């Protein structure tokens, strides 16, 4: 299928009025695909089999991929080390933008490490939840709330630089068992009672992203629902998210090649179904 600049997805890549679509991918490591062969940008841990690359190939779009591992919303308008601001990749001719961001703003990787470290002290309890709510406030939920205006500002900036683009906010896939029942510590070293808490935190992050997308003229892509049943606790071959000790080539707690394929399919579905909308 090919995207056309008329706003539809045409069954033919060559039509009299169609031209190549300019697609810009923004975001963090869940977009860049760290560890998945082949890595084409080691500084940003970017794969040529990440979801932006798969989406561009499926839709015959011209891809500019500036997604970068470790990116926060700050890296959109400002530099990330030696990397230029991601928003610099946008322009008035940009047709499609995908944005996967927010996980690093809430400190997901550090929080997961903290929870894993606490698990040994109370493996059947919920020491992670107890730690992050010890002062009567859920500090992870507060971080999600604090990130919301940053997402809002990012979407407004995207719209300013690419005023006619279709903008899609791509959420995070299912990392933990959706039923809240965990797995053994040899697979994922978390306390039994913390799986549900971390699942809920991820769902709050995705809900915030969906709300900000709706409020700022973008569309939200749900990658959580189509990846339920393929979380870190599943055995190799079934999981699309690698656990902390990886088997498939991917970064810990990140989508493997199958996970990136599932994310690409979710984005393409929203583009196809919403082709007549902006």
- Whether 29 is a known active-site residue: answer yes
What the block records as the tokens of 74 is: 């700050």
* Mean confidence (pLDDT) of the chain: 93
Predicted confidence (pLDDT) per residue in 147-190, tens digit: 999 999 999 999 999 999 999 999 999 999 999 999 988 899 99
From the candidates 10, 12, 254, 276, give the one annotated as an active-site residue: 254
In a domain, 98, yes or no: yes
Higher pLDDT, 4 or 124: 124
Q: From CA 141, how far away is CA 133, in angstroms rounded?
A: 10
CATH number of the domain enclosing 236: 3.40.50.1110
Q: How many CA atoms lie within 13 A of 169 on its CB side?
A: 29
In a domain, 151, yes or no: yes
Q: How many domains is the chain partitioned into structurally?
A: 1
pLDDT higher than threshold 90 for residue 5: no
From the candidates 4, 29, 53, 67, give the one annotated as an active-site residue: 29
Domain span at residue 39? 21-273
Report the range of poorest mean pLDDT among 12-21, 26-35, 193-202, 240-249: 12-21
pLDDT given for residue 276 in this prediction: 40
In a domain, 95, yes or no: yes
Higher pLDDT, 276 or 143: 143
pLDDT given for residue 186 in this prediction: 86
pLDDT higher than threshold 70 for residue 11: no
Global confidence as pTM: 0.92
- Whether 230 is a known active-site residue: answer no
Report the range of poorest mean pLDDT among 11-20, 70-79, 147-156, 172-181: 11-20
In a domain, 13, yes or no: no
Q: From CA 44, how far away is CA 46, in angstroms rounded?
A: 5
In a domain, 187, yes or no: yes
pLDDT higher than threshold 50 for residue 9: no
Question: DSSP readout, 160-225?
Answer: HHSTT-EEEEE-----S-TTS----TTTS---GGGHHHHHHHHHHHHHHHHHHHHHTT-EEE--SG
What the block records as the tokens of 38 is: 């082949």
In a domain, 3, yes or no: no
**Quick count: other Cβ atoms within 10 Å of Cβ 99?**
27
């Amino acid at each position: 299928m090919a995207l056309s600049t008329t706003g539809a997805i045409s069954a033919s890549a060559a039509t009299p009025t169609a031209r190549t679509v300019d697609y810009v991918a923004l975001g963090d490591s869940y977009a860049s695909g760290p560890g998945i062969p082949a890595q084409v940008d080691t500084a940003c841990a970017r794969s040529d089999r990440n979801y932006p690359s798969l989406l561009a190939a499926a839709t015959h779009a011209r891809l500019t991929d500036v997604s970068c591992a470790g990116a926060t919303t700050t890296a959109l308008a400002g530099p990330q080390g030696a990397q230029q601001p991601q928003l610099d990749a946008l322009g008035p001719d940009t047709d499609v933008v995908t944005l996967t961001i927010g996980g690093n703003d809430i400190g997901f990787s550090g929080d997961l490490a903290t929870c894993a470290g606490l698990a040994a002290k109370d493996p059947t309890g919920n020491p992670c939840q107890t730690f992050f709510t010890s002062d009567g406030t859920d500090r992870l939920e507060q971080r999600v709330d604090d990130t919301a205006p940053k997402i809002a500002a990012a979407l407004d900036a995207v719209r300013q630089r690419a005023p006619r683009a279709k903008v899609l906010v791509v959420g995070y896939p299912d990392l933990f068992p959706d039923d809240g029942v965990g797995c053994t510590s040899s697979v994922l070293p978390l306390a039994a009672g913390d799986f549900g808490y971390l699942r809920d935190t991820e769902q709050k992050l995705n809900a915030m992203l969906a709300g900000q997308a709706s409020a700022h003229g973008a569309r939200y892509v749900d990658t959580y629902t189509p990846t339920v049943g393929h979380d870190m606790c599943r055995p190799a071959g079934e999981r699309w998210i690698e656990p902390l000790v990886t088997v498939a080539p991917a970064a810990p707690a990140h989508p493997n090649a199958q996970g990136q394929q599932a994310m690409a399919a979710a984005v393409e579905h929203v583009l196809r179904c919403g082709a007549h909308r902006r």
